[in-house]
Amino acid sequence: MKIGINASFARKPGSGIGQVTTNFLKKIAQQKTDAEFVLYLEEDLPADIKLPENFTKHIFLPLWRRDDLVRKILWEKYGLPKMVKKDGCDVLLSLYQCPTVTSADIKHIMVVHDIVPRLFPEYLNNIRKKIYWAMTERAIGRANKILAVSSRTEKDLITQLGIAAQKITVNYIDVDEIYKKNISEKTISIVLKKYRLKSGYILAGGGMEVRKNVEGVIRAYASLLESNKKTHFSREIPKLVIYGKLLPQLAPLAVDAEKLVRELNLTKQVCLLGMTLQTDMPVIFSSALMFVYPSHYEGFGLPVLEAMNTGTAVITAKNSSLPEVGLDSVLYCNSDDVSDIAMVMKNVLLNSELRATLVRRGKERALNFSWEKFSSKIFNIIKSL
């Protein structure tokens, strides 16, 4: 059997889909199988991904080389299906939702992470995005099998897109392996010094999209500081550290955290890290007193699982897929209620036993997710087609 894999996002290893792509490739490269694999790429793989002899890389770009939606459409909708057909693949695995439609003789398995543009149409704020998403919805419907990364995404596919339940299998993803490794004191010291941080801060971030609700965290933190002036908590409120960068292409769907911090007079209490290296994130997570992620909607919620793996107490929202990831190992808040976010933050801040319990439960819960399970389920589905 010849299996084609859309591994385009391997060129963006810091993104969520990039992490799924690179870790999946590393895992299947270790397995002994008679199958032949063809990886379809826009750039060569990162140097740390070593491939055995039964893997072939097919790197190509359309004439339109700019990294934008035009190129994505040309590559995913037109170029990729032609290459897959030409190479004689029996199956194509798309590791993310995209406009790719294969010919009838090639089975297509598509991993769907979320259908955010359908649920939040404000994301479709120009004609290119509307065209791309319309093509993607049609391709999802025509795939032979869909792997949803959460039960919530499965439900959304059924209720919003009318996908038959029997076409969908839930297959949980995992975090990058760097979040599972022990970190030396020397490494912790180097990374904290690099970002001018002292351990014990409150961490937030995971993206500046309005949906991620960084604004809610900042306003809750301001409320916490104001409350402390009146009642004087039993401990000092640590700094709020926010990772992530304001990306102009997301405006007006992004929160200008820097502007909000200035407006609330929090410039001395809030540290905005901007874009951080993926390799530094395990230290940034593990050095935090808590991680606050009251997102309004997630298809999975990778930052929550990253924090759990590094032994950080997590506060998140009780909506979408987040309870699937956290279960009883995290604390929940109402993402629409700033006062509720502040109250839960206060509880974690002042209760060391609660924090220790969340850390222990988080690490235990994180063991339920693995790339081995993710990869095995995909292979079982391929065999069943």
Q: What does the block give as tokens for 186? A: 């020397």
Q: What does the block give as tokens for 141? A: 């419907």
Give the per-residue pLDDT at 253.
86
Give the per-residue pLDDT at 235.
82
- Phi and psi at residue 270, to the nearest 5°: -115, 130
pLDDT confidence tier of residue 138, bands split at 50, 70 and 90? very high
Tens-place pLDDT, residues 294-317: 999 999 999 999 999 999 999 999
pLDDT at 231 over 90: no
Give the per-residue pLDDT at 33.
87
pLDDT confidence tier of residue 229, bands split at 50, 70 and 90? confident
CA-wise closest residue to 240 among 262, 211, 213, 220: 220
The pTM of the full predicted model, rounded to 2 decimals, is 0.94
CB-CB contact of 337 with 315 (8 Å): no
pLDDT at 199 over 90: yes
Q: What is the mean pLDDT of the chain?
A: 95
HEC letters along 196-254 = CCCCCEEEEECCCEHHHCHHHHHHHHHHHHHHHHHHCCCCCCCCEEEEECCCHHHCCCE
Q: CA dist 184 to 117, 181, 190, 243, 305, Å?
A: 41, 10, 10, 22, 21
CB-CB contact of 285 with 303 (8 Å): no
Tens-place pLDDT, residues 71-116: 999 999 999 999 999 999 999 999 999 999 999 999 999 999 999 9
CA-wise closest residue to 363 among 322, 318, 325, 310: 310
**What is the distance in angstroms between the CA of the first residue and the CA of the last residue of the chain?**
12
Within its chain, how far is the Cα of 33 from the centroid? Answer: 29
CA-wise closest residue to 158 among 173, 171, 148: 148
Query: Can you count the helices (H) and strands (E) in the chain?
Result: 15, 13
CB-CB contact of 97 with 113 (8 Å): yes
Domains of the chain (ranges, CATH numbers): 2-174+370-384 (3.40.50.2000), 177-366 (3.40.50.2000)
What mean pLDDT comes out for the span 352-360? 97
Give the per-residue pLDDT at 250.
67
Give the per-residue pLDDT at 195.
96
Question: Which of 382 and 230 is assigned the larger pLDDT?
Answer: 382
CA distance 348 to 364: 19
